[in-house]
Amino acid sequence: MSSSLANPAWFAQAAGAPSPSAVVTDAEGLEAGMTELPNGAPAYFARPQNGAELPIILIAQEIFGLHEHIRDVVRRFAKLGFIAIAPDFLIRYGDPQKAPDIEAIRAIVAKVPDSETMATFDEALAFAASKGGDAKRAAISGFCWGGRIAWLYAAHNPMLLACIPWYGRLDGPHTPAQPRWPIDVAAEIKTPTLGLYGGADPSIPADVIEAMRERLKRAHAPAEIIVYDGAPHAFFADYRESYRADAAKDAWSRALAFLRATGLK
C-alpha cells in the first residue's frame, strides 16, 4: 500500500477532486477485476494469485458508488490474503459516480430496496467462494451508507464471523424500500461486530450511538462501537478532506486485529 497521485477520473464527481493523501494500492500479485453477479449487479473483486480456501471479506461501498477508493480497499484486503469483493448494489438505480451533487446521490440511494441489496451480497459471497474463498470464514465491512448495509447484512446472515461498519448511519427514515435500520436489528446481531464511528459526525449523533449501544447490550450482542473524538464522518476516506490520518490508522489496526481475533486473518 503506498501513497501516490490518484486519477480524478476514477473517483465520484460529487466527492470532489481526490486529495494528495489518497492511497493507491497496486494489483501486483493479485487477480483483480470486474465480474457480474447472477442478478446483474457488477462487482469488483481481488484475491492473491495463489492460495485456496481463503478468508472472504465483503465490502459495502459508500454512497459514492463503486469508485476507486472502494476498489483500493478491496485490493488492500487482497494483499492481506483475503478474497475481497465489492458488489455495486446502487448502479441499477443510477450512477453515483456521475451524479453532480450529494442530493442527486441520495435520490439514487433512496430507491434501492434493502431486500435486493441483501440478495446481492448473498450472491457476492457465493461468487467469492467459487473463486477459492472459504464461505465458512467470511466477514463484511462497509463505509458510510455501506456501514448501514454491513449492520443489516450481519443480521441477515448470522453465519458471518465478523462485521466492521465504518460510520454507517444507525437510524433514519423508514420507507417501503428501506424499512429497517441498524438500531432496529440490534437485537438480531449474532456476528461479532466492531463499529468505527466519528465523534464529530453530525449525521450520527452521540445520543443515537448510545441508544444503539444500549440495545446491543440488552440483547447481549457481541458488538462494540468505538468512537473517535473529534473525527468527522468519512474519517477513513483518505481521498477526501474529511480524512483524519491518526484515527484512520488506529481504526484500520483495530479492524485487522478484530479480524484476526475472529479467525479471519
**Which residues are tagged catalytic?**
144, 201, 233
Residue written as cell 475472529?
A: 262
Instruction: Give ∠ CA 137-59-144 in degrees, rounded to 5.
Output: 135
**Angstrom distance (rounded) from CA 109 to CA 42:** 16
Instruction: Give ∠ CA 53-255-123 in degrees, rounded to 5.
Output: 45
What does the block give as the cell for 255? Answer: 479492524
Q: Tell me which residue of 223, 53, 77 sits closest to 136, measured CA to CA.
A: 53
What does the block give as the cell for 147? Answer: 456501514
Residue written as cell 486519477?
A: 7
